[in-house]
Every structure is written in C-alpha cells, then in structure tokens.
C-alpha cells in the first residue's frame, strides 16, 4: 500500500496566533481520508476546513491535519423539497452561488461565507437570525460521519452522536457529507432597517423593543466613545426582499449573486497599525455610515458580510494577530453587558469590530454555544495585558451564568470551560464511546482537556 502523501505546514486560526506545525493531508478521496484516520499515529488527527475558527481548534501540533477543502462536490439539489446534499468541504459561499438560481438560500450564514459545511457543523455556527431560525445544525437533516475506526455512520437528529458532533469542534469524527434543509427566496436582496442609537442604553432598549419582528438582527457599538455617548451604535435589521420590493433595475436579475469583494489585504501591516487614533477614525466612519433609514435594499455583502469586501482582512491586525472574545449571557443580564463594555473601554485595549445581538432557543447540542440571551463579540489586537483582561472577563462571564464560544476561543483555561458547559461530561461520554483511544485531537482539545 502506498504511503499517504502529506505536506508539512505551519497553521494558525483566523486570529493568526499560536502557530503550530503538522503534517497535512489534502484529498477528496474518502477512502484516503479513512486510511489517514486509521493510521494517524500517537499525535492523532483533526479535520480542517477554511481555517476560520479564530483559535487553535483546527490545528494539531506534531500530528495530522486533514484539509477537507478538496472534498467539495455538491451531489444533489432538490428544488421541490428545498434540500441540498453536499460534501463537507464545500464552502457556504459556493452553496449560495449554486443555490440562488433556484430561489434557494442557505438557512444560517455566519459573519463570513468563507466557511465549509463541515466547519459550520463542527462549530454549529449562528447568524443574525438565531432568534428566529436557530443555528446551522437545526437545519441539517443528516450527516455522514467518519469515526475513529474508519467506519462511516449516517446520523440524523434522532441520534445522540449527531448532537455531540453539532458544535463538537471536530472531536467526534470527520463530517464527510451533509443534507441541509434550505429556505426559499424570491430575490438575493434584503430589506434593511438601519438605526443609529446615541448610547449603549438606547441600543439595548431598541434591541429589546421589537427585535422579533425582524428575520435578521445585529448591532454594532463603539467601545471607545466615553461620556453620554458611550456605546453609541447602529442596528441593522431586516428580511429577505421580495420581487416587488426591488427597484426596476434589479428586477431584471433578482437572484443575481451580488456580493462583491473589492481587494485582498496585503500582509504588510505593522502591529501598531490599529491604535487608539486609527480606531477612533474607523469607529467614527462606521457610525456615520449607519445613518437611520428604513426599507433600504441591500445586497448580500452589505447586509451580511461587509468584512468579505476585503479578502484576508485579518492581516490588518499585523503579525501579532488578534483575539476575538465572544460570550453569551442570559436575558436579564443587561447591567452585566454594560459593565463588560466599560471594562474593555477602560482597559487600554482597542476594539473596532463590536457586535451585540440576541439569541433564541438553543438546540440539543451538548456543547453547542448558542442559548437564549445576549451574545457580544469584540476583536482585540494582541498586546501585553490582554490575557489578564480576558481572565477577568472570564470570571465576570461565569458570574453572569454565561459561556465562551469554542470557535472563537484561543486562550482560556480548561477549568473555565468545564464550568461554562454543564453538559460537557455527557458529551465526553458520547465522544469516548466512538473514539475510546482519543484519535481525534486538536491543540484546543489538549489545552482545554476536552
């Protein structure tokens, strides 16, 4: 039998921190993937998609990593049933492009389309419609999972292993294929209501006031402005546009994939590029762009993925990289949200990408992140003192009954995650039943004793 071809590569997450080196297998041959799993060796194996988890969840120092992007076929689109069957290496960007001509839409999109189907399942990603549609795995009808013994199991939502895999960060096996229930749309555009708020209290009030009437909802806030305008923000909420909602020029091709990318960021930015001055300029510009208007028609990039306008935008933080801190806390913890914002604002650390939104009901995933409440995410450049700040935030989140998102997490402690996820031992038992030798492992799983 021929030796499996590998390439030694140094990998990071999207935050570009904690690089480690592994042997990488890239193949679209399912038999070869199964053979790689069976022969992974002492350091184990983990699957990797497009590398959009922010931390080290798809890295495996000294071990094997399977690059799933070569497994990228769409096997069937059932227009009548609104269902697609696709390999796990297919990106959500590819799905959107292929499905729109049929008037079909991916039910849940996170903050970027550059995520694979397998990655979306492993992180059980959520979007601006969680309060109305739940997370990605709510819409997965079945998945084919390659387990540690090299066998393939077809799982449905009736299986415990399905829900252990949903949000399980790739540690139950390799997702090979999934069947996904889709949404029907008349156009590729969205009707958006944009509202400016003068401070953080007004932002929270508006989000609590009438959020449920919108299919999609998210908000940005300014973490640098102080005084009466502290936490000023912008709400972006809306629905899929119908044909009658479009101006005449867009009705000629209402299902056009209208999602431009302007450029790719070069890898030249110094670590000091994002400082208090540049951050204030960015925040002021973003706030001004969010002037209040109702019923505006927006394309996919405008409404969902403004960051996708610039490819490799993470390079803008410099070679030191950045950390995304995202948590969810129950409803009723609004004073905690303000305290968190004040702590970050007064810490000397800078964040421009600050997102606040509401989650709806969680699903049966044992360690899936979303649960009813508020989720807040901030992106902060790496510099001295950041880990201390995050440790303090961890304690605050724990005290508020919240938890961190494993797909964004890159530095916390095992005991913290243990306290945040009450069903983690139940998940571990299911994982151990299909992988008793711990074949599937990542840098994150070692660090957090998952």
Q: Is the pLDDT of residue 128 over 80?
A: yes
Q: Within the chain, which residue ranges are assigned CATH 3.30.70.2520?
A: 190-414
Q: Around 400, how many Cα atoms within 13 Å sit in the side-chain half-sphere?
A: 26
Under DSSP, is residue 181 helix (H, G, I), strand (E, B) or coil? strand
Backbone angles phi, psi at 119, to 5 degrees: -65, -40
Class of domain 70-185: alpha beta
Mean residue pLDDT of the chain comes to 95
Considering the domain 190-414 in this protein, what is its CATH number? Answer: 3.30.70.2520
Segment 212-265, tens digit of pLDDT: 999 999 999 998 888 888 889 999 999 999 999 999 999 999 999 988 787 888
Q: How does DSSP classify residue 91?
A: B
Q: Within the chain, which residue ranges are assigned CATH 3.30.465.10?
A: 70-185
Handedness of CA 310, 316, 322, 328 (dihedral sign): negative
Task: For strands 310-311 and 263-264, give the pairing.
Answer: parallel
Can you give the pTM of this predicted structure? Answer: 0.97
Q: Is the pLDDT of residue 160 over 70?
A: yes
Segment 387-406, tens digit of pLDDT: 999 999 999 999 999 999 99
How far is C-alpha 92 from the geometric centre of its chain's CA atoms? 12
Q: Is the pLDDT of residue 204 over 80?
A: yes
Nearest 5 degrees, angle CA 21-CA 24-CA 30?
A: 155
Q: How confident is the model at residue 1 (pLDDT cuts 50, 70, 90)?
A: low
């Amino acid at each position: 039998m021929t030796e499996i071809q590998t390439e030694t590569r140094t990998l990071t997450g999207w935050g570009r921190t904690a690089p480690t080196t592994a042997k990488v297998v890239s193949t679209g041959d399912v038999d070869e993937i199964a053979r790689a799993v069976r022969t992974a060796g002492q350091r184990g194996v983990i699957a990797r998609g497009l590398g959009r988890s922010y931390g080290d969840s798809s890295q495996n120092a000294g071990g094997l990593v399977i690059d799933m992007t070569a497994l990228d076929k769409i096997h069937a689109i059932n227009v009548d049933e609104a269902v697609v069957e696709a390999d796990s290496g297919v990106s959500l960007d590819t799905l959107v492009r292929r499905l729109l001509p049929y008037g079909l839409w991916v039910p849940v999109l996170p903050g970027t389309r550059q995520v694979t189907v397998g990655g979306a399942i492993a992180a059980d990603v959520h979007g601006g419609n969680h309060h109305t549609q739940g997370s990605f795995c709510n819409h997965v009808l079945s998945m084919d999972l390659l387990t540690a013994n090299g066998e393939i199991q077809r799982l449905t939502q009736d299986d415990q292993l399905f829900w252990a895999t949903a949000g399980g960060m790739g540690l139950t096996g390799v997702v090979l294929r999934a069947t996904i229930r889709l949404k029907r749309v008349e156009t590729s555009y969205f009707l958006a209501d944009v509202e400016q708020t003068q401070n953080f209290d007004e932002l929270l009030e508006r989000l609590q006031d009438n959020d449920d009437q919108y299919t999609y909802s998210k908000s940005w806030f300014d973490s640098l402005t102080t005084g009466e305008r502290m936490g000023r923000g912008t709400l972006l909420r809306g629905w899929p546009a119908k044909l009658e909602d479009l101006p005449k020029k867009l009705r000629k091709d209402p299902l056009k994939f209208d999602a431009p990318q302007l450029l790719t960021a070069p890898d030249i930015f110094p670590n000091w590029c994002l400082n208090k001055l540049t951050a204030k300029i960015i925040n002021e510009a973003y706030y001004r762009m969010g002037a209040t208007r109702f019923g505006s028609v927006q394309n996919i990039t405008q409404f969902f993925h403004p960051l996708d306008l610039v490819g490799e935008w993470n390079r803008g933080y410099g070679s030191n990289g950045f950390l995304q801190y995202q948590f969810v806390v129950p409803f009723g913890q609004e004073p905690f949200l303000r305290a968190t914002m004040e702590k970050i604002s007064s810490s000397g650390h800078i964040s421009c990408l600050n997102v606040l939104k509401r989650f709806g009901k969680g699903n049966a995933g044992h360690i899936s992140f979303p649960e009813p409440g508020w989720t807040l995410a901030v992106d902060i450049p790496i510099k001295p003192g950041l880990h201390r700040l995050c440790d303090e935030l961890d304690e605050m989140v724990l005290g508020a009954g919240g938890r961190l998102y494993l797909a964004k997490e890159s530095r916390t402690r095992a005991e913290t995650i243990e306290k945040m996820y009450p069903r983690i031992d139940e998940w571990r038992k299911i994982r151990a039943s299909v992988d008793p030798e711990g074949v599937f492992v990542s840098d994150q799983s070692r660090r957090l004793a998952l």
